[in-house]
């Protein structure tokens, strides 16, 4: 973490190795959530995705409002991480529900 940040970005970034880990986790979960979004779209669950996006947006806003003043950049990263988790959980639920509804029709 620290060595890589120093080599790539310089010494001023080397003290933010925890933020790098938080953002890497958020990016990984967000990537998986993107695939779940594609799955939800492929089931034509367009309206069901709107509450997920609203919940994700509210989570980001509230998380940033509460955590940034207390934790600074790490707080912003945690807000993004929690938002990505909400997105993944919501889209997984939407996709699961749509798949199960189609199974019942068969």
Give the three-class secondary structure for 77: helix
Q: Which residue has the tokens 């993004």?
A: 80
Cβ-based neighbours of 85, under 8 Å, separated by 6 or more: 29
User: Would the pLDDT of 3 be above 90?
Assistant: no
C-alpha triplet 78, 80, 83: angle, nearest 5°: 110
Instruction: Specify the pTM.
Output: 0.88
Q: Which residue has the tokens 């970034």?
A: 13
**Each residue of 13-56: pLDDT tens digit?**
778 889 989 999 999 999 999 999 999 999 999 999 999 999 99
**What are residue 95's phi and psi, to 5 degrees?**
-65, -45
**Each residue of 62-99: pLDDT tens digit?**
999 999 999 999 999 999 999 999 999 999 999 999 99
């Amino acid at each position: 973490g620290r060595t890589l940040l120093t080599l790539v970005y310089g010494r001023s970034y080397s003290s933010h190795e925890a933020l790098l880990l938080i953002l890497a986790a958020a990016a990984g979960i967000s990537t998986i959530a993107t695939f779940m979004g594609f799955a939800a779209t492929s089931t034509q669950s367009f309206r069901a995705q709107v509450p997920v996006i609203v919940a994700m947006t509210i989570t980001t806003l509230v998380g940033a409002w509460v955590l940034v003043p207390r934790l600074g950049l790490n707080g912003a990263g945690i807000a993004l991480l929690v938002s990505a988790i909400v997105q993944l959980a919501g889209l997984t639920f939407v996709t699961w529900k749509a798949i199960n509804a189609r199974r019942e029709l068969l």
